[in-house]
Amino acid sequence: MHEVEEKGLQFYRFDHMADCTDLSHAVFTRLGGASAPPFDSLNVTFGLGDNPNDVHLNRRRILQTIGGGAMVFLHQVHGNRIIVVDGQSSTNGVEASRPAADALITSAPGLLLTIQVADCQPILLYDHRRQIVANVHAGWRGSLSDILGRTVAVMVAECDCRPADILAGIGPSLGPCCAEFRNYRTEIPKSFWAYKDDRDHFDFWAVSVDQLCAAGLRRENIEVSRTCTRCAANRFFSYRADKTTGRFAAVIGLNP
Query: What whole-number distance in Å separates Cα of residue 186 and Cα of residue 193?
Result: 12
Residue 178, CB-side half-sphere exposure with 13 Å CA sphere: 18
Whose CB is nearest to Zn ion? Answer: 228
Residue 188 Cβ, how far from Zn ion at the closest point, in Å? Answer: 18
178 touching Zn ion, by CB under 5 A = yes
Residue 241 Cβ, how far from Zn ion at the closest point, in Å? Answer: 9
Residue 176 Cβ, how far from Zn ion at the closest point, in Å? Answer: 8
Query: What whole-number distance in Å separates Cα of residue 33 and Cα of residue 36?
Result: 9
Query: What whole-number distance in Å separates Cα of residue 75 and Cα of residue 16?
Result: 29
Residue 179 Cβ, how far from Zn ion at the closest point, in Å? Answer: 8
Query: What whole-number distance in Å separates Cα of residue 111 and Cα of residue 93?
Result: 9
Backbone angles phi, psi at 138, to 5 degrees: -125, 95
Residue 169, CB-side half-sphere exposure with 13 Å CA sphere: 25
Among 149, 175, 246, 253, interactor with Zn ion by CB under 5 A: 175
177 touching Zn ion, by CB under 5 A = yes
Show the site string, 190-229: x = touches Zn ion by CB under 5 A, - = not. --------------------------------------x-
Residues 6+ apart with CB under 8 A from 154: 82, 84, 103, 105
Report whether 223 contacts 15 (CB < 8 A). yes
Contact window for Zn ion (CB under 5 A) among 42-50, 96-104, 176-184, 205-213: 176-184
The residue (of 20 and 178) whose beta carbon lies closer to Zn ion is 178
Residue 240 Cβ, how far from Zn ion at the closest point, in Å? Answer: 9
How far from 196 is each of 31, 63, 93, 170, 212, CA to CA, in Å? 32, 39, 42, 19, 19
36 touching Zn ion, by CB under 5 A = no
Among 101, 153, 159, 231, interactor with Zn ion by CB under 5 A: 231
Q: Which of residues 132-161 bind Zn ion (CB under 5 A)?
A: none
The residue (of 213 and 231) whose beta carbon lies closer to Zn ion is 231
Report the candidate in 3, 30, 19 with the shortest Cα–Cα distance to residue 238: 30
- How does DSSP classify residue 38? T
The residue (of 126 and 205) whose beta carbon lies closer to Zn ion is 205
The residue (of 81 and 226) whose beta carbon lies closer to Zn ion is 226
The residue (of 137 and 230) whose beta carbon lies closer to Zn ion is 230
The residue (of 61 and 230) whose beta carbon lies closer to Zn ion is 230
Among 30, 150, 201, 230, interactor with Zn ion by CB under 5 A: 230
Rounding to the nearest 10 degrees, give the CA dihedral for residues 182, 178, 193, 213: 150
232 touching Zn ion, by CB under 5 A = no
Residues in contact with Zn ion by the rule CB under 5 A: 175, 177-178, 228, 230-231
